């Protein structure tokens, strides 16, 4: 039985960049719905409850067809949002440090070049989806709640569904993406980067 994880900060803590209204709606309603519907699907095939969610998502072919779409969409929604809250922090300092920063600069030329590339890819997602930073520091995008797990779990992800920004930014996804950089939890991204390399 999956449960909605608590936020590790106050709903209003990111307010300057992402409002408390959005955080309540996104966490308490959207994410809770993914959790509820995932649990309903798994009740139909209880043996799937013994496997890790990330294993199901990485091996959707092994999930019975009767619940495959639900696991993909609702399970993906639960997995993605559970990470997304941890990738946000009210105490973001705007830039990574240490080995992650060095590696990003090596791959993209500068941290700003990485930011520009990731932002452009986020803006180019048509409709609902996500933009990801993968363990090899490549950038990927997916539609809906799909998760790119081919080379390991993403180390950073940005939700570009309209529900993530419309209350604050209307149709201006670019303003949302620009604001989001201010609340990225770089220590958490670096922790994931280092543990994916080991
Ligand atoms: Mn969302």
pLDDT tens for 119-128 read 999 999 999 9
> What's the confidence (pLDDT) of residue 10?
98
- Provide the whole-model pTM: 0.97
**pLDDT value at 197 more than 80:** no
Q: How far is the CA of 52 from the centre of ligand 1 (A)?
A: 21
Q: How far is the CA of 84 from the centre of ligand 1 (A)?
A: 8
CA 22 from centroid of its chain's CA atoms: 16
Strands 129-133 and 139-143, by their bridges, are antiparallel
Q: How far is the CA of 134 from the centre of ligand 1 (A)?
A: 19
pLDDT tens for 105-139 read 999 999 999 999 999 999 999 999 999 999 999 99
Ion ligand 1 neighbours (CB, 5 A) are 159, 161, 164
Q: Where are the alpha helices (DSSP H) in 53-136?
A: 53-58, 65-70, 76-86, 98-108, 111-123
The C-alpha R_g of the chain, in whole angstroms, comes to 17
Buried b vs exposed e over 133-160: b needs ≥16 C-beta within 10 Å?
bbeebebbbbeebbbbbeeebbbbbbbb
- In angstroms, rounded to a whole number, what is the distance separating the alpha carbons of residues 83 and 63? 22
Per-residue pLDDT, averaged over 80-88, amounts to: 98
- In angstroms, rounded to a whole number, what is the distance separating the alpha carbons of residues 157 and 188? 12
Q: How far is the CA of 158 from the centre of ligand 1 (A)?
A: 9
Q: How far is the CA of 123 from the centre of ligand 1 (A)?
A: 16
Q: How far is the CA of 109 from the centre of ligand 1 (A)?
A: 31
**pLDDT value at 143 more than 70:** yes
- In angstroms, rounded to a whole number, what is the distance separating the alpha carbons of residues 192 and 134? 10
CB 99 within 8 A of CB 76: no
Q: How far is the CA of 66 from the centre of ligand 1 (A)?
A: 24
Backbone angles phi, psi at 76, to 5 degrees: -60, -40
Q: How far is the CA of 102 from the centre of ligand 1 (A)?
A: 30
């Amino acid at each position: 039985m999956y449960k909605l994880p608590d936020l590790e900060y106050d709903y209003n803590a990111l307010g300057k960049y992402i409002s408390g209204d959005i955080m309540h709606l996104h966490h308490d309603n959207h994410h809770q719905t993914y959790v509820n519907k995932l649990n309903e699907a798994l009740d139909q095939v209880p043996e799937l409850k013994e496997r890790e969610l990330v294993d199901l998502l990485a091996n959707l072919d092994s999930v019975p067809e009767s619940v495959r779409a639900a696991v993909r969409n609702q399970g993906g929604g639960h997995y993605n949002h559970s990470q997304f809250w941890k990738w946000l922090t009210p105490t973001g300092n705007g830039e990574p440090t240490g080995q992650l920063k060095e590696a990003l600069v090596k791959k993209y030329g500068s941290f700003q070049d990485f930011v520009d590339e990731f932002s452009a890819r986020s803006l180019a997602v048509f409709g609902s989806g996500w933009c990801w930073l993968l363990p090899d520091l490549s950038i990927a995008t997916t539609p809906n709640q799909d998760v790119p797990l081919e080379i390991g779990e993403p180390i950073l992800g940005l939700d570009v569904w309209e529900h993530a920004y419309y209350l604050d930014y209307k149709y201006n996804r670019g303003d949302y993406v620009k604001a989001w950089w201010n609340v990225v939890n770089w220590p958490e991204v670096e922790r994931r980067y280092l543990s994916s390399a080991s």
